[in-house]
Amino acid sequence: MSRAALTASLLLAAWPGVAQPLERWDPGAADCSHHGAPPIELHRIDDRTVILREGLCTTAEAPFMYLLIGRDRALLVDTGDVADPALAPIGRTVLDLLPATGGIRLPLLVAHTHSHLDHRAGDVQFEGLPGVEVVPHELDGLRARLGLSSWPEGAGLIELGDRLVDVLPAPGHSHTDLVFYDRTDRLVLSGDVLMPGRLLLSDATAAVESARRLAAYFEGRPVSLVLGGHVEEDETGALYAWHATYHPRERPLPLTKAQLLALPGLLSGFSGLWMEKDGQVVIHQGRLLGLAGSLVAVLLTAGGWLLWRRLRRPGGWLRVSTRPSPASRAIE
């Protein structure tokens, strides 16, 4: 049995009726109008490490978020896809998880795996709160705050007191990708760089270079779990439809160190639009969007030409007559 299965049996009881192993999360529903699952699901890895997930019927993105609690402060990685606390109270949920002394909660630092909205929409629930700092999601701001002056080389460090978290630049999915390494629990928080789902690339060259740096970094370091930003596959490895709100028989969240070390080889062999290999699906989103745009342009051009031909045909809406008009014949 995996470490996750052994240690994740304790579910924080903020929401009743969701106690289940880490490998199984609420599957959502095809019709969410009568689905009664909580908007945010919680699992403890240990007393100081909590995994949070916004439910599939809260948002089809169903992103994962990670709370690491240290002696002096806590770190929240990502804030999810929902800004409205009435729909997904990520702010209240996380603050209630923080230890308090004399009525004062442990300070909280909020950071992001990358700047896409489905990983930072909940920032608004933390902004301006006492004892809470939100790291900017823009590249210049996060580089300055996390000490990443040599981007994309080098690494930053977040100190939580008795807990150290390395911050590794890994652009490729987006231009702001970060991977977090918790030295205490030996967890790799990989966001959308590596997860059980579609690996979407915006820059394939940057993604390969990032994968090589990550593999070199983790080669000699202990890794217990690799935890990504989403799960998009069932237990057979088949992908769910885009934006599906129902994930029956969803595969487990954790990936392995071996899969992380294999990432450079996987991405190095990718040069097209779509590739499926070794249980991973890689999509070059930039190229795919460019191809879609080109196809739309071709279809619009062809449609315009066909419409013009139709208008000029006899009996069409637009006819150009070559016969003289009655007035011109009278003049003649």
What Å distances lie between residue 49 and 36, 219, 283, 295, CA to CA?
A: 26, 24, 32, 47
Mean predicted confidence (pLDDT) in 28-39: 94
Give the residue with greater pLDDT, 298 vs 214: 214
| Averaged confidence pLDDT in the chain | 86
pLDDT at 142 (0 to 100): 97
CATH class of 3-271: alpha beta
State the pLDDT confidence band at 270, using cuts at 50, 70 and 90.
confident
Of 55-64, 120-129, 209-218, 285-294, the one with minimum mean pLDDT is: 285-294
State the pLDDT confidence band at 117, using cuts at 50, 70 and 90.
very high
Question: Residue ranges of the domains in the chain?
Answer: 3-271, 289-331
Compute the distance between CA of residue 203 and CA of residue 112 in angstroms, rounded to an integer: 19
> How much is the pTM?
0.83
Percent of the chain at pLDDT exceeding 70: 79
Residue 326 confidence (pLDDT) above 90: no
Which of 18, 1, 3 lies closest to 257 in space, CA to CA? Answer: 3
Compute the distance between CA of residue 142 and CA of residue 149 in angstroms, rounded to an integer: 10
pLDDT at 141 (0 to 100): 97
Of 51-60, 153-162, 270-279, the one with minimum mean pLDDT is: 270-279
Give the residue with greater pLDDT, 317 vs 98: 98
Q: Is the dihedral of CA 245, 77, 15, 47 positive or negative?
A: positive
